[in-house]
Amino acid sequence: MGKVAVGAAVVCAAAVCAAAALVVRHRMISSRKWGRAMAILKEFEDKCGTPIVKLRQVADAMDVEMHAGLASEGGSKLNMLISFVDNLPTGDEEGLFYALDLGGTNFRVLRVHLGGKDRGVIGQEFEEVSIPPHLMTGSSDALFDFIAVALAKFVGSEPEGFHPPAGRQRELGFTFSFPVRQTSIASGNLIKWTKGFNIEDAVGEDVVGELTKSMEKIGLDMRVAALVNDTIGTLAGGRFYNQDVIAAVILGTGTNAAYVERAHAIPKWHGLIPKSGDMVINMEWGNFRSSHLPLTEYDLTLDADSLNPGEQIFEKLISGMYLGEIVRRALLKMAEEADFFGDTVPPKLRVPFILRTPDMSAMHHDTTSDLKVVGNKLRDILEISNTSLKMRKIVVELCDIVATRGARLAAAGILGILKKIGKDTVKVGEKQKSVIALDGGLFEHYTKFRECLESTLKELVGDEVAETIAIEHANDGSGIGAALLAASHSQYLGVEES
């Protein structure tokens, strides 16, 4: 009996030792894996670094590229497109103007009533219309005929007392958010379709001419007074309310910037110098690229996998379309190389663009003690359950790294514009403020991104200059802005009401 008991005790002790060894080994492996995950995070943080010195280099590079793009066509990654907008609204415009905003699978028609000096926008109405999918790949006539009919129907609801006098045309601002080679304030040839449209017989055609032809077919007497994109619309909307607005930036799904340039500072402009002396430039700044941009392996693979490799590099670092996707790619590497979510990689984590920037923002702004929002998002979107608080904190940190880099680079881009037009320093005796109008869902809804952008710009220019610079949210520039530009480019300017 004694020997059996001793033997059993030895076996038990051995089993306990083996179990303990397994626990120790498991802990060592877990610790090693956690260490690997932390190393991936640290390397990513370092590569995304945006110290002030680097941001100043980015701003200087933006300034250089702006000069090059203004000097000659194709001289820079920045197109620096001449918009032919040389009269921005003054706030004195009055009358009833229409706008058409076409930039995706829906379009909007708007009616804006302007009251003149000190009265601003008295009233506005709009209607949103879905474009049937077959029209997005059909013929140019079919699309513009459909739009003209919707526009005519909207004009039909115009209130009594607002009809134009006999012999006077209604005027329209046309926001067309596809690549166009502008030839005048109210004409431009379509370069290519994007966003799911593919109407071959429209490419190379003047989009204003196509719309006008369709309006004439149904007897709608309306003149397109201005063809603009959403960024220029935002600039016009901002200027209408505040004459100190000098630039506009869109930070939404995509990104772009436009600003007011002195016409004599545009070597590639061969027309007459406008009376105002100014010309609005559509930068197309999403295509900016520089060796100073802090690119990581995730940015490089995202670019390589995209529909436009090598293009829109700045946009892929700072816009809403891509921020959540960069976070997903970093999480995927942690899952693959450090078993961050367990022994198997969650299948949903391999799906490109499954993690959208609004979800990233919700996780980044989670203030619950157990980061419940983060846990819910991981479960609902990526089907990852049972995440520890420690893991959730890492996810928030990733969101912070990506959003901070994007916001700080956007601020550097704005500094580049200020440098180009000499507003990055305070001139003796000059009191004028420089206001940048900002719009887009990313800026509007991602609070930490917005706050970081604003504080970074202040840090870059210093306290004294910061007193002269302001960022203002300009809502719905692409709609109201186009109507305002129709007003400021009206053929009846200076003509007395009969």
pLDDT in tens, 7-62: 555 555 545 544 544 444 545 556 788 999 999 999 999 999 999 999 999 999 99
Is it the case that residue 303 has pLDDT exceeding 70? yes
Q: How far apart (Å, rounded) are the C-alpha atoms in residues 97 and 65?
A: 37
Q: Which of 63, 108, 289, 299 is catalytic?
A: 108
State the pLDDT at residue 170: 93
State the pLDDT at residue 398: 98
State the pLDDT at residue 56: 98
Tokens standing for residue 356:
């959208």
The tens digit of pLDDT for each residue in 434-444 reads 999 999 999 99
Active site (annotated) includes residue 108: yes
State the pLDDT at residue 83: 92
Q: Which of 140, 177, 434, 488 is catalytic?
A: 177
The tens digit of pLDDT for each residue in 322-375 reads 999 999 999 999 999 999 998 899 999 999 999 999 999 999 999 999 999 999
Q: Cα–Cα distances in Å, from 54 out to 35, 95, 318, 412?
A: 29, 49, 16, 9
Q: Which of 63, 86, 145, 230 is catalytic?
A: 230
What mean pLDDT value characterizes the chain?
A: 90
Read off the pTM: 0.87
Active site (annotated) includes residue 177: yes
Which residues, at least 6 apart from 459, have a Cβ–Cβ distance to it below 8 Å? 52
Contact of 109 with 151, CB cutoff 8 Å: yes
Residue 68 amino acid letter: A
Contact of 384 with 378, CB cutoff 8 Å: yes
Positive/negative CA dihedral, 291, 295, 300, 302: negative
Contact of 107 with 147, CB cutoff 8 Å: yes
Partners of 258 in the β-ladder:
248, 282
The tens digit of pLDDT for each residue in 88-102 reads 998 888 889 999 998
Section 147-151 average pLDDT: 96
- In the three-class reduction of DSSP (H, G, I as helix; E, B as strand; rest coil), residue 101 is classed as strand
In a 10 Å sphere around its CB, with 0-12 CB exposed, 13-18 middle and 19+ buried, how is residue 472 labelled?
Answer: middle
The tens digit of pLDDT for each residue in 278-289 reads 999 999 999 999
State the pLDDT at residue 235: 95
Positive/negative CA dihedral, 241, 286, 205, 145: negative
Section 224-246 average pLDDT: 92
The tens digit of pLDDT for each residue in 200-215 reads 999 999 999 999 999 9
Q: How confident is the model at residue 427 (pLDDT cuts 50, 70, 90)?
A: confident
Is it the case that residue 159 has pLDDT exceeding 90? no
Q: How confident is the model at residue 117 (pLDDT cuts 50, 70, 90)?
A: confident
Is it the case that residue 498 has pLDDT exceeding 50? no
- In the three-class reduction of DSSP (H, G, I as helix; E, B as strand; rest coil), residue 144 is classed as helix
The tens digit of pLDDT for each residue in 60-88 reads 999 999 999 999 988 999 999 999 999 89
Strands 121-130 and 469-473: unpaired
Section 306-322 average pLDDT: 92
